[in-house]
């Protein structure tokens, strides 16, 4: 921020924002598990460094991991198990 502090949940169009606090990691890591004979994919573990979101109170949203799962099932197979892991995301505000 212009006053030297670091604040979360600030929109970048806020006139007091100087810049995002740190670098981002735009890559998504993936690990594919196949059946023993290698003929079919069983599941994918994906890891992406971006906070998930809540709707409010005790309500949670599947947010973007849902869309990752849908895209993977469309391209790899409808019975694929998708496991999502949030990578390091302690200082991401971009």
pLDDT tens for each residue of 35-51: 999 999 999 999 988 77
Q: So where are the chain's domains?
A: 29-86
> What is the predicted pLDDT for the residue at 59?
73
Q: What is the pLDDT of residue 87?
A: 80
pLDDT higher at 23 or 92: 23
Instruction: Judge whether 80 and 41 are in contact, CB under 8 Å.
Output: yes
Q: What token pair was written down for 93?
A: 């505000």
Please report the sign of the dihedral spanned by the C-alpha atoms of residue 54, residue 47, residue 29, residue 48: positive
pTM over 0.75: no
What separation in angstroms does the CA of 83 have from each of 3, 40, 42, 48?
Answer: 41, 17, 11, 11
More confident residue, 50 or 93: 50
Higher pLDDT, 78 or 51: 78
């Amino acid at each position: 921020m212009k006053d030297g502090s670091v604040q979360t949940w600030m929109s970048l169009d806020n006139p007091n924002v100087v810049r995002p606090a740190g670098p981002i990691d735009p890559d998504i890591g993936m690990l594919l598990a196949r059946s023993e004979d290698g003929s079919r994919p069983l599941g994918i573990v994906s890891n992406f460094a971006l906070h998930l979101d809540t709707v409010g109170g005790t309500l949670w949203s599947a947010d973007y991991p849902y869309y990752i799962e849908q895209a993977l099932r469309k391209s790899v197979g409808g019975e694929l198990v998708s496991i999502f892991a949030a990578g390091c995301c302690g200082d991401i505000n971009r």
